[in-house]
Amino acid sequence: MQQFFSYTVSGLGTAAIYAIAAAGLVLTYTTTGVFNFAHGATSMLGAFTYWEMRFAWHWPAPVALIVCLGVLAPLFGILLERGVMRHLDNSSETTKVVTTISLMLGLLGLSLWLWNPSRSRPFPRFWEGDVLTLAGVRIPYHVVATLAVTLLVALGLWLVLKRTRFGVSMRAVVDDRSLVALNGARPHVISMASWSVGTVLAATAGVLIAPTLKLSALPLTLLVVNAYAAAVMGKLKNLPLTFLGALVLGLATEYFRGYQSSLPFSDKFVPGFLASVPVIVLLLVLVLGRSPLRGHAITRVRETVQRPTWAGSAGMAVGVVLVAALLSDVIPRTDLFTLGRVWGLGIIALSLIPVVGYGGQLSLCQMSFAGVGMVMVQHLGSQGNPLALVAAIVVPALLGMIVALPSFRLSGIYFALSTAAFAVLMDRWIFLLPRFRFLGLDWDIFNGGSLDLRRTRFFGLSMEGNRVFFIYGAAVFALVSVAVVGIRRSNYGQRLLALKDSPAACATLGMNIKVAKLGVFAVSAGLAGLGGALYGQGMQSATTESVQFVSSLTLLMVMVVAGLSSPGAALFAGVFLGFGLNNVIFGKIADFVPDRLGWAEHFFDKLGSNTLIVVGLAGLSLGRHPDGFVATRLRPRWDQILARPHALLGIGGTLVVAYLVRIAGLINNWLFAIAAIIVLTVVPAAIVPRPKHSAEHGLADDGEEVMIRAGARGH
């Protein structure tokens, strides 16, 4: 009994922190319509900032708390509203999700930049060791304090929302934002207040929970997934229910932790399972919840990108293979090894095109499918057996259909959340399972955390060598990209696009939406699995880190920036992430910076090693353009160049000259590669004026969005 009470006490402490985090999330979501994926990153940043002031600069705790939570956090919230969220007012739900995910990655990158992750940062609890004994139950001071803070937060929120005009206005915004403006209140001021309060709550949760976790960026950022569960129990709008959800979650987690040793098959499954409890609860609530949860608006609205032609995509496919063959000649073997992963990543990026680009279903777990593909190669492909590749497609495809099931009832942000929950479940539990026996078989899913992947042998033809693997990878990428274009051009592709445009209309047209959704998930998960297999074989060994949730988000963001429906964008994503383009470009810039500008050199070096921050910033600035820069910026210019033979000749000629200069040994590979990139991207941009119609497109696009949204509300 004593034990039960002490588990209850720690459960209440955990619940209190979840409640604070979830309350902030719900508050900003209801008053602004933006579900903030960066909420956890904000908590993390708050915790780090507090740590810096308290333990690095040795400020007294109260001062550090006031500065961090009372000054910096609200300011950050205001900055967020002015700089980012305000511009999302009339955008689609996808754009909102994309923006906050970019923000999350950017903040994660920022913290890695500022706080070297390899240093350990002890973060003692408040009143470490002090205990209050109440009726024989020992309650640590820090739990008492946490509970007190939560009560204050609850009471404060209640008072503000019920008893002040400002709070009533915040609730009014939830009902009807434009009517609030008609009343003469300033909606932006209200949003700004929401974001400040939301940020303060996030940071408070971060400071409170950091001592129980380690002060480590990623776990703290993902902590909020636990809060998602509580928030979803409150249907993302009901604060009392959210608090109740947090209570259930906190208690469940701590009882599990407390009693884990007395569970029948304890030590093997439980540790990861424990961390997954909130995610499992989230999935259950999403999938079994009483009423179907529908997001505000449908996802991306209209495709302004032209239908890809067979000739164009075949040309690109052949070009990719040829260029790969050429490159494999000039690039040293060791670099070729590093480059081997470009194609696998490129294929995983391609796998996003059918599901997100065509189908409009936000999948945040593509890397988890890739991880399953890798696992298949590990277990079935030890002798380079090609059948392993088949399994690497089929098993993720089946899994993909399971992941797609919630989409029958969920849409928009809720479905995105369910895919996120799946990814985190794989990360925290399935991929981390130790060796175990089940159904009379030995299972060791991720091989103890590191896979050892053999490259395939096709009927005696080995893909082992770095050069042959590089060309083979390019060929598979080319094939898949043609297949993806094939999907787009088929009847099925048309139906997917229609589904994205207006699900309601599709239903009335008698289209079987469920089959379409299952199908597209199966296809894209299968492709992701294949990509994962090649990605893993490229690296020859893989850790769970390479397939985790954040990698899925990073890949998605690169694709969003480049263009979610073009294979060219997938190529870019593969090269950018697989080749470490970021590192190369900014590293080179750092090299060129004159020595006396040491700070600038340092800056570019840091930028080069911090892909997250670059991707985050790019997503924040470009993510609003739904079709990406490859499709909207580069492609139209290329079309114009193709119509001007002399320009084409000039570019081709320059490339040939650069290649010859390289062969002659006058420049090295890097310089050649950079020159080629400049010739292919910057030069077209410079010599061809920006196509005029794209601006008009943008406008028409918004309009359509409004129209369809209004229509969707009617259904």
**Which 8-state DSSP code applies to residue 546?**
G
- For another protein, the closer of residues 172 and 205 by Cβ is 172
Q: Which distant-in-sequence residues (6+ apart) come within 8 Å of 68 by Cβ?
A: 46, 49, 50, 53, 203, 207
Q: Which distant-in-sequence residues (6+ apart) come within 8 Å of 369 by Cβ?
A: 351, 396, 399, 400, 524, 525, 528, 529, 532
Quick one: which segment of 400-408, 448-456, 615-623, 705-713 binds ligand ADP (CB under 6 A)? 705-713
Q: Which of 221, 212, 222 is nearest to 254 (CA)?
A: 212
Tokens of 322: 């040829």
Quick one: which segment of 65-73, 163-171, 590-598, 648-656 binds another protein (CB under 8 A)? 163-171
Find the radius of gyration of the CA atoms of the chain: 26
Partner from ligand ADP, another protein, none binding residue 597, C-beta < 5-8 Å depending on class: none
Q: In whole angstroms, give the CA distance from residue 107 to residue 49.
A: 12
- For ligand ADP, the closer of residues 263 and 706 by Cβ is 706
Q: In whole angstroms, give the CA distance from residue 57 to residue 63.
A: 11
The least CB distance from residue 499 to another protein, in Å, is: 21
Q: Where are the alpha helices (DSSP H) in 141-186?
A: 141-163, 165-175, 177-182
Check: CB of residue 418 under 8 Å from CB of residue 341.
Answer: no
The least CB distance from residue 90 to ligand ADP, in Å, is: 12
The least CB distance from residue 169 to another protein, in Å, is: 7
172 contacts another protein (rule: CB under 8 A): yes
**Phi, then psi, of 103 in degrees rounded to 5:** -60, -45
The least CB distance from residue 175 to another protein, in Å, is: 4
Considering only residues 402, 670, 706, 715, which one is a binding residue for ligand ADP as defined by CB under 6 A? Answer: 706
Considering only residues 13, 40, 74, 187, which one is a binding residue for another protein as defined by CB under 8 A? Answer: 187
- For another protein, the closer of residues 1 and 699 by Cβ is 699
- For another protein, the closer of residues 28 and 466 by Cβ is 28
- For ligand ADP, the closer of residues 77 and 503 by Cβ is 503
Partner from another protein, ligand ADP, none binding residue 702, C-beta < 5-8 Å depending on class: another protein
Q: In whole angstroms, give the CA distance from residue 387 to residue 381.
A: 7
Partner from another protein, ligand ADP, none binding residue 588, C-beta < 5-8 Å depending on class: none
Q: Which distant-in-sequence residues (6+ apart) come within 8 Å of 517 by Cβ?
A: 359, 361, 404, 407, 408, 499
Q: Which of 203, 229, 189, 528 is nearest to 352 (CA)?
A: 528
- For another protein, the closer of residues 657 and 707 by Cβ is 707
Partner from another protein, ligand ADP, none binding residue 1, C-beta < 5-8 Å depending on class: none
168 contacts another protein (rule: CB under 8 A): yes
**Helix, strand, coil fractions of the chain, as percent rounded to 5:** 75, 5, 20
- For another protein, the closer of residues 58 and 692 by Cβ is 692
Q: In whole angstroms, give the CA distance from residue 157 to residue 166.
A: 12
Considering only residues 4, 66, 183, 402, which one is a binding residue for another protein as defined by CB under 8 A? Answer: 183
Check: CB of residue 451 under 8 Å from CB of residue 546.
Answer: no
Q: In whole angstroms, give the CA distance from residue 181 to residue 567.
A: 44
CA 301-302-306 angle, 5° bins: 155
- For ligand ADP, the closer of residues 121 and 709 by Cβ is 709
The least CB distance from residue 16 to another protein, in Å, is: 27
List 130's β-bridge partners, or say none: none
Tokens of 117: 């992750």
Considering only residues 319, 685, 707, 715, which one is a binding residue for ligand ADP as defined by CB under 6 A? Answer: 707
322 contacts ligand ADP (rule: CB under 6 A): no
- For ligand ADP, the closer of residues 509 and 710 by Cβ is 710
- For another protein, the closer of residues 192 and 641 by Cβ is 192
Partner from ligand ADP, another protein, none binding residue 181, C-beta < 5-8 Å depending on class: another protein
User: Which stretch of DSSP H or E encloses residue 492?
Assistant: helix 491-501
The least CB distance from residue 506 to another protein, in Å, is: 21
Q: In whole angstroms, give the CA distance from residue 149 to residue 587.
A: 46
Q: In whole angstroms, give the CA distance from residue 100 to residue 403.
A: 23
Q: Which distant-in-sequence residues (6+ apart) come within 8 Å of 144 by Cβ?
A: 132
- For another protein, the closer of residues 653 and 703 by Cβ is 703
Q: In whole angstroms, give the CA distance from residue 180 to residue 194.
A: 15
Partner from another protein, ligand ADP, none binding residue 427, C-beta < 5-8 Å depending on class: none
Partner from ligand ADP, another protein, none binding residue 700, C-beta < 5-8 Å depending on class: another protein
Q: In whole angstroms, give the CA distance from residue 291 to residue 90.
A: 26
Site string for another protein, 608-637 (x = CB under 8 A): ------------------------------
- For ligand ADP, the closer of residues 90 and 462 by Cβ is 90
Q: In whole angstroms, give the CA distance from residue 166 to residue 147.
A: 26
- For another protein, the closer of residues 104 and 172 by Cβ is 172
Residues binding ligand ADP: number (CB under 6 A):
3
Site string for another protein, 248-287 (x = CB under 8 A): ----------------------------------------
Q: Are strands 541-543 and 450-452 parallel, antiparallel or unpaired?
A: antiparallel
In order, the DSSP letters of 273-323 are HHHHHHHHHHHHHHHH-SS----SS-S-----SPPPPHHHHHHHHHHHHHH
Quick one: which segment of 11-19, 169-177, 341-349, 360-368 binds another protein (CB under 8 A)? 169-177
Considering only residues 329, 333, 700, 715, which one is a binding residue for another protein as defined by CB under 8 A? Answer: 700
- For another protein, the closer of residues 289 and 698 by Cβ is 698
707 contacts another protein (rule: CB under 8 A): yes
Site string for another protein, 644-683 (x = CB under 8 A): ----------------------------------------
The least CB distance from residue 359 to ligand ADP, in Å, is: 24
Considering only residues 189, 387, 685, 710, which one is a binding residue for ligand ADP as defined by CB under 6 A? Answer: 710
Q: Which of 75, 74, 64 is nearest to 197 (CA)?
A: 74
Considering only residues 186, 333, 514, 644, which one is a binding residue for another protein as defined by CB under 8 A? Answer: 186
Distance of CA 407 to the CA centre of its chain: 18
Q: In whole angstroms, give the CA distance from residue 382 to residue 41.
A: 40
- For another protein, the closer of residues 185 and 614 by Cβ is 185
**Which 8-state DSSP code applies to residue 89?**
T
Site string for ligand ADP, 655-694 (x = CB under 6 A): ----------------------------------------
Give 31: exposed, middle or buried? Use CB within 10 Å, 0-12, 13-18, 19+.
buried
Considering only residues 23, 41, 44, 180, which one is a binding residue for another protein as defined by CB under 8 A? Answer: 180
- For another protein, the closer of residues 601 and 704 by Cβ is 704
Partner from another protein, ligand ADP, none binding residue 178, C-beta < 5-8 Å depending on class: another protein
Q: Which distant-in-sequence residues (6+ apart) come within 8 Å of 515 by Cβ?
A: none
Tokens of 296: 């505000």
700 contacts ligand ADP (rule: CB under 6 A): no
- For another protein, the closer of residues 166 and 458 by Cβ is 166
Q: In whole angstroms, give the CA distance from residue 149 to residue 95.
A: 35
Furthest-apart CA pair in the chain: how many Å? 89
Residues binding another protein: number (CB under 8 A):
26
| Residues at the site binding another protein, with contacts judged by CB under 8 A | 165, 168-169, 171-172, 174-176, 178-187, 699-704, 706-707
| Residues at the site binding ligand ADP, with contacts judged by CB under 6 A | 706-707, 710
